[in-house]
Structure 1
């Protein structure tokens, strides 16, 4: 009996060792492998944060840039801002990968003043600034002493003065730096307009309360204003068109190339034509 028990124990031990040996046999794996037998690492999703002012330019990122970039494998988060200071600072400190809200003159001045290494990547279709009024139906009807509200920030103030000069309402001093121009640089004001600089976001509300209001296109659209109802729309210079901006170190990276390729694509222009009517296209797009 004791002998049989020893034999049974021995067989059990042998079986356990055999089973353990079988358990070490390589099994099929769900992990992709390369030809050498090593696991293939999947390319991580590239998450980008693009800042834009609330309104048409955050819409442009969401509707025209985001879907095309997502086809390239990116995940896009749109970050909205209500001022012209934080988007550049957020880009410079790495909180954003790109931003869309400013023209190149403002970018260069802001970057110089704040010692930021930022660079424009490409210009985009831009909503033109317009002169609006509920009291006058044409520029010729504007009366002497009329109240005019304009933007007080450098990004829009110079554009306002250039537009007023183009239609003969003011004359600005020669050789004025357009990035620094202010109402103090007005040399002649033949209709003695009472000019009141305000924050750009407030300007749409002044169309009803003032005689005239010069409203940047993005704020006009955000307030559901019809661009074609303006007494006059600006003849936009190329350096006043909005630009997509990145950190200078990213201009020649794959990110920079993909963003530029996206804006130059036929799909991007088609979305602009369908959903951003009235936007003034940059010269590079007109010449395609």
Structure 2
């Protein structure tokens, strides 16, 4: 009596195993692997309008883009690595490189999009020269943007960093010279506009500044718009890039079209700047800039 039962149990186990393997295979190929002319792209609410415009423009070229806006604590890179997305667009190449290193991953930069220069903003002063001795300066607390902020302060000649400043682990403890004895504090990026009443100035990510109503041209100082490390990219995986070459080719044409460039400049009023440099050149330049001597 128990032989048919055992055979049925073995068959059920085999069916479950086949199903799990099939799901796993689909996940590894990416979110939209069934259609070579479709891409599921994850982005943040800050860039959602831009990607909805890109989606509408791409339709004329036969490319179907599903825009997924993710907020809160969702890690867009982990969603991509897990196969829930075909691509994402929210980060600059320096952040992508850092994330890959931390997570031992190999997400790839597939295209360039915008650059969003980091700026020094203030409510009560109009010029860097008005920053007084002992003034409190707020900067982002995540490693990539903390390093970026310290470099911006150095570029503004407010501090000097140690020679050989470590971009991976560097912090305020690696400031070599602080002539104004500035009190540099850290805070979550999204909170920085709210602390402007309590500090002399804050270094605010461009997208966060835009949401808070601050325009780049109102900043006391901001990054060089051509800084390779902070060019935003479309990230994907090597597997998806290989499976969908035509989709990414069409995306490239739309991203760098005059219509999208005009939209970025009009919609974001100078806070986001369209990038014309192609991804291969940007990746190569970034590698050279970060080569260990």
TM value normalised by structure 2 = 0.75
Match status 1:54 vs 2:22: no
The match for 1:177 among 145, 152, 166 is 166
Distance 1:216 1:182, change over 3 A: same
Q: CA deviation at 1:99?
A: 1.0
2:39–2:66 Cα contact (<8 Å) kept: yes
Residues 83-98 of structure 1 mapped to structure 2, 5 A cutoff: 86-98=75-87
Match status 1:272 vs 2:264: yes
1:67 and 1:161 map into 2 onto residues whose CA distance is: 39
> Helix, strand or coil for the counterpart of 1:108?
helix
1:256 and 1:199 map into 2 onto residues whose CA distance is: 34
1:191 and 1:283 map into 2 onto residues whose CA distance is: 39
> Helix, strand or coil for the counterpart of 1:124?
strand
Match status 1:152 vs 2:141: yes
Q: CA deviation at 1:186?
A: 1.4
2:36–2:246 Cα contact (<8 Å) kept: no
> Helix, strand or coil for the counterpart of 2:70?
strand
The match for 1:74 among 64, 85, 88 is 64
Match status 1:250 vs 2:243: no
Match of 1:234 in 2: 223
Count how many residue pairs are aligned between Structure 1 and Structure 2.
Answer: 240
Match status 1:168 vs 2:157: yes
2:43–2:67 Cα contact (<8 Å) kept: no
Match of 1:32 in 2: none
RMSD: 2.2
2:75 and 2:237 map into 1 onto residues whose CA distance is: 15
Match of 1:121 in 2: 110
Distance 1:194 1:151, change over 3 A: same
Q: Which runs of 5+ in 2 are unaligned?
A: 1-33, 279-293
Tell me which stretches of 4 or more aligned residues in structure 1 moved more than 6 Å. none
2:111 and 2:168 map into 1 onto residues whose CA distance is: 19
Residues 7-18 of structure 1 mapped to structure 2, 5 A cutoff: none
Q: CA deviation at 1:229?
A: 1.4
The match for 2:251 among 229, 249, 259 is 259
1:148 and 1:47 map into 2 onto residues whose CA distance is: 45
Match of 1:9 in 2: none
Distance 1:44 1:188, change over 3 A: closer
2:170 and 2:247 map into 1 onto residues whose CA distance is: 35
Q: Which runs of 5+ in 1 are unaligned?
A: 1-42
Q: CA deviation at 1:254?
A: 2.1
